[in-house]
Amino acid sequence: MPNSRALIVSSNIESREQWAEDLKSGDWQVSCVASRDDALAAIPDFLPVLMLLDIQAEEHASEVDEHFAQRCRDSGLAVIVVFADPTPEDIAVSFRRGAIDVLIEPFNRSELFQAIARAGDFKDLYQENMDYRGQLERANRELQDSLNILRMDQMAGHQVQLNLLPTGPLKLGEYTASHRIVPSLFLSGDFVGYSVAFDRFLLFYVADVSGHGASSAFVTIMLSYIIRQIIRRHINEGEPSALLNAPEGLIEHVNRHIMALELDKHLTIFAGSIDTQRHILRYVVGAQLPLPIVITEDKADFLPGKGKPVGLFEDASWAVEEMTLPDNSTLLVVSDGLLDCVKGDSMEEKEQTILAVCKRVGPAGGHDAICHELGIDTIENAPDDVSVMTVTRQHG
């Protein structure tokens, strides 16, 4: 060993002297102590790499307390335990507590140095392990620092998303808009928006960005900004009649922005406008599945309509559908993440399950009852984001 310092721990003076003489003949620096307490005191000053630990005949290895064994391990000591008449249990305990070899008296100088050679191999391996452990600890600290930064970034992004979501429920005359989102990760790729313009028009959308997590969440934030900007422009112009054609042109405008950013992201969307004076619903469907549902007192039906996803085709256009909303009805929009959480072996069976729930609850049940019956309250570890938006009309 490069550092040739050995500490002999034995209450037997004759044994100490013999082992010391043997070690010195091999160019070892030797220090002898009579007890384990003395050994603990000597280690910091002498800095040995090897220890001969003599277990007296009246002792057992189990009597060497764990604190002493741990100090030897922490110091990187190669410990050779010496027994006069050990039991198998003594030997097993010694190795379990970190000894690298066991010598049984009587032994000669040659046997001692064979054990020391094995100790040298141990020391080299120990040093390699310590170096590797140091590298792992540094890498782990760097990883933890990176995770903490990522966690803070996600918390900031999560807060931004929360700030952009409607506070809900929103009430306007006979209409109430509500929503709920269950993200699969800390950040969501689903987004819901609804607002009022000119105390007459209820404007809303439900979007599902491909994938989930931070990159998808970024697109939802951008989408919210684009749509808010359009609504704000209409309000600032002070011309309510401009919204009679809403959401005409909205999805085309969003599509141009998504395509221009080249984010390799696309989204499905349902966007609509309700003229609460005339009770006219105008809407566009951008590959939204399942289709939105209108629930009345005697039935529940999917809305007609279809359209391409947003962000894939530059020159795509979306047709605006129109219908009159019945008295006492509910418009339900859910993202496709719900399909992973309802019963059914096929898409059609899952859609029928959702329709059955809607018929059972009816328009009078309200948003919370629909969410409860769809199992939104009990979703855990969702494989995909799940969002629900309802717009209920209660007349009279």
What average pLDDT score do residues 252-256 get?
Answer: 95
What average pLDDT score do residues 247-265 get?
Answer: 92
Residue 143 lies in a domain: no
Residue 154 lies in a domain: no
Name which residue leads in pLDDT, 44 or 171: 171
**224 and 358 part of one domain:** yes
What average pLDDT score do residues 132-156 get?
Answer: 80
Number of Cβ atoms within 10 Å of the Cβ of 182: 21
What average pLDDT score do residues 89-99 get?
Answer: 84
Say what the pLDDT of residue 133 is.
65
**113 and 174 part of one domain:** no
**181 and 112 part of one domain:** no
Residue 114 lies in a domain: yes
Domain housing 280: 165-393
What average pLDDT score do residues 260-282 get?
Answer: 94
Say what the pLDDT of residue 127 is.
56
Contact (Cβ atoms closer than 8 angstroms) between residue 183 and residue 210: no
Percent of the chain with pLDDT over 70: 94
Name which residue leads in pLDDT, 66 or 121: 66
**366 and 291 part of one domain:** yes
Q: In angstroms, what CA-CA distances link 164 with 158, 177, 191, 231, 371? A: 10, 16, 9, 14, 22
**89 and 212 part of one domain:** no
302, β-bridge pairs: 293
Indicate the number of domains in the chain. Answer: 2
Say what the pLDDT of residue 130 is.
55
**107 and 19 part of one domain:** yes
Say what the pLDDT of residue 203 is.
97
Residue 210 lies in a domain: yes
Residue 150 lies in a domain: no
Average pLDDT, the chain: 88
**334 and 191 part of one domain:** yes
Give the type of residue at 245: N
**pLDDT above 90: residue 180:** yes
Helix (H, G, I), strand (E, B) or coil at 80: strand
Residue 97 lies in a domain: yes
* Distance (Å, whole) CA 258 – CA 254: 6
**93 and 24 part of one domain:** yes
Say what the pLDDT of residue 131 is.
62
Report the CATH number at residue 316: 3.60.40.10
* Distance (Å, whole) CA 392 – CA 288: 20
Say what the pLDDT of residue 1 is.
47
Report pLDDT digits (tens) over 368-385.
999 999 999 888 887 889
Residue 127 lies in a domain: yes
Say what the pLDDT of residue 282 is.
98
Give pTM, 2 decimals: 0.67
DSSP symbol at 214: H
Say what the pLDDT of residue 128 is.
56
* Distance (Å, whole) CA 314 – CA 37: 81
Contact (Cβ atoms closer than 8 angstroms) between residue 220 and residue 207: yes
Highest mean pLDDT among 9-18, 63-72, 316-325: 316-325
Say what the pLDDT of residue 141 is.
86
5, β-bridge pairs: 29
What average pLDDT score do residues 52-57 get?
Answer: 84
pLDDT band at 56 (very low <50, low <70, confident <90, very high): confident
Percent of the chain with pLDDT over 90: 53
Name which residue leads in pLDDT, 67 or 122: 67
Say what the pLDDT of residue 123 is.
56
**pLDDT above 70: residue 396:** no
